[in-house]
Amino acid sequence: MKILVISQINSLCKYGGGETFNRELIKYLLNQGHEVVEWSAYIGQNISRYENLYEKNKNYHLVYSKIFQKHPNKIQKNIIDHWKFNKDLEKFLNNKDFDLIINSCYLNFVKIKKRNNFIQICHDDPEILVTGGKSKNKICFWIKYFFNSMISFGNIFLNAKNVVFSDLKTQEKLSSFSSKFDKIQKFIIPYPINELSFDFKQIEDQKGENKEVIWIGRMIKHKKNIKYLNKVAKYLEKDNVKINVYGIGPAKKYLNSKNIIHHGWIDDGLKKYEALIKNKVFLMVSKFEGASLVLIESLCVGTPIVALNNFPSVNFFNNSDGVFALDSNTKAKKYAEKVVEIINLNKKEYLKLVKENLEFYKENLSNKRFYENIDKLLEYFKK
């Protein structure tokens, strides 16, 4: 098959969940002998590349949109350029013949004419798509709701006949917005991670009796809820629990608790996994997320997770006994108490949570499972 994959930042970049999804998708399609054209909205600046991943494969072709090369940062802001981008894409499609078109742009703004062979990957959860994250200002909330509903959902309800979701909860959430959704062909393909997998024995040997927990991310005040993290830290300080914080960003200034140890940015790969294994609990306090890659990485090494239930995909991860999704309005004190409760479990009970997370990862989020789901998707379009 000749397949077009539309991406935001090209999949040869290290970035986040959407790029990881695209990398594994394209890598697998090429391994199965398909010809793949990746149409990228913009290059992405100062982001390291996965050298020799698949760019030297003769069946892989990377094409850049002409629209965003001079000012790539406007992709999220400029409506006129969005319109120009879609015109550019339609012109490209009119001169090419593809068996399958997959819109895997992390921002779902791509609008193309109705095609039976067009697949929309819904990367973000509906609340983010609609509101751009929660807002304290009601006027801002409804402005975001109105414009994001038109831009983000218009493609799914009016253009796409086939949509891929990361989990059933997100699909159910979106289906509540319109009865037209019933006519769309729906697929569930959870996110993978393209790194290492660890067995239970490896992890058990490294889990000590420490009282250390971990937070990883970009320090953005609103989205990542850094002030809340600092409040949690102050309550954990009473129980001598240390928080190892990995990340950089402008909101670092809000971290002033004595028990927070800031390590700066952590390299991708083995160092991140080693840190996740050595800590007893991963803290997820974000006000909103799309597909959070670090949650999957935590599951991959079995580390129990305490998260605020601020985005639907948390409910999918919560199917594992080692993931605790607390109400989004949970006070910092109650959040800290849950963390301490997990830390104080006896070794047998704690390792049971670790094992649950490992098994959930292997069953739902491993590369093997991801490839099986892609096979089912391709099989449907071969009919």
Q: Which long-range contacts (CB under 8 A, 24 or more apart) does 227-230 make?
A: 227/251, 227/254, 228/285, 228/332, 229/255, 229/283, 229/285, 230/254, 230/255, 230/256, 230/257, 230/260
Same domain, 221 and 184: no
Report pLDDT for 321: 94
d(CA 261, CA 277): 17
Report pLDDT for 260: 95
Report pLDDT for 50: 58
Same domain, 318 and 254: yes
Same domain, 348 and 275: yes
Tally of domains within the chain = 2
Same domain, 216 and 321: yes
Report pLDDT for 382: 84
Q: Is the dihedral of CA 359, 361, 367, 372 positive or negative?
A: positive
**Which domain covers residue 82, as residue numbers?**
2-192+366-382
The side-by-side arrangement of strands in the sheet containing 212-216 is: 260-262, 242-246, 212-216, 282-284, 305-308, 323-326
Same domain, 22 and 125: yes
Q: What is the pTM of this model?
A: 0.84
Q: What is the pLDDT along the chain (383 residues), one digit of tens a residue?
A: 999 999 877 787 766 777 888 889 999 999 999 999 999 877 554 455 555 678 789 999 988 887 766 655 555 566 677 778 888 888 888 888 999 999 988 665 677 777 889 998 887 655 555 555 555 667 776 776 666 666 566 666 667 889 888 888 777 777 776 677 778 889 999 888 755 667 777 788 777 778 999 999 988 877 889 999 999 999 999 999 999 999 999 999 999 999 999 999 886 678 888 899 999 999 999 987 777 888 989 998 999 999 998 877 788 888 999 999 999 899 999 999 999 999 999 999 999 999 999 999 989 988 889 999 999 999 999 86
The two structure tokens encoding residue 15:
């970035």
Report pLDDT for 124: 65
Same domain, 181 and 204: no
Instruction: Tell me the CATH number at 67.
Output: 3.40.50.2000
d(CA 119, CA 136): 35
Report pLDDT for 324: 96
Beta bridge partners of 383: none
The 3-state secondary structure of the chain reads: CEEEEEEEECCCECCCHHHHHHHHHHHHHHHCCCEEEEEEEECCCCCCECCCCCCCCCCEEEEECCCCCCCHHHHHCCHHHHHHHHHHHHHHHHCCCCCEEEECCCCCCCCCCCCCCEEEECCCCHHHHHHCCCCCCHHHHHHHHHHHHHHHHHHHHHHCCEEEECCHHHHHHHHCCCHHHHHCEEEECCCCCCCCCCCHHHHHHHCCCCCEEEEECCCCHHHHCHHHHHHHHHHHHCCCCEEEEECCCHHHHHCCCCCEEECCCCCCCHHHHHHHHHCCCEEECCCCCCCCHHHHHHHHCCCCEEEECCCCHHHHHCCCCCEEEECCCCCHHHHHHHHHHHHCCCHHHHHHHHHHHHHHHHHHCCHHHHHHHHHHHHHHHHC
Same domain, 317 and 266: yes
Which residues touch 207 (CB under 8 Å, ≥6 apart)? 277, 278, 280, 350, 351, 354
Same domain, 348 and 371: no
Picking from 316, 305, 16, 310, the residue whose alpha carbon sits closest to that of residue 189 is 316
Picking from 291, 281, 329, 277, the residue whose alpha carbon sits closest to that of residue 308 is 329
Beta carbons of 283 and 213 less than 8 angstroms apart: yes
Same domain, 147 and 215: no
Beta carbons of 280 and 211 less than 8 angstroms apart: yes
Same domain, 145 and 221: no
Q: What's the chain's Rg over C-alpha atoms?
A: 21
Same domain, 60 and 172: yes
Q: How far is residue 319 from each of residues 169, 215, 293, 357, 363, measured CA to CA in Å? A: 11, 21, 17, 9, 12
d(CA 80, CA 136): 29
Same domain, 143 and 27: yes
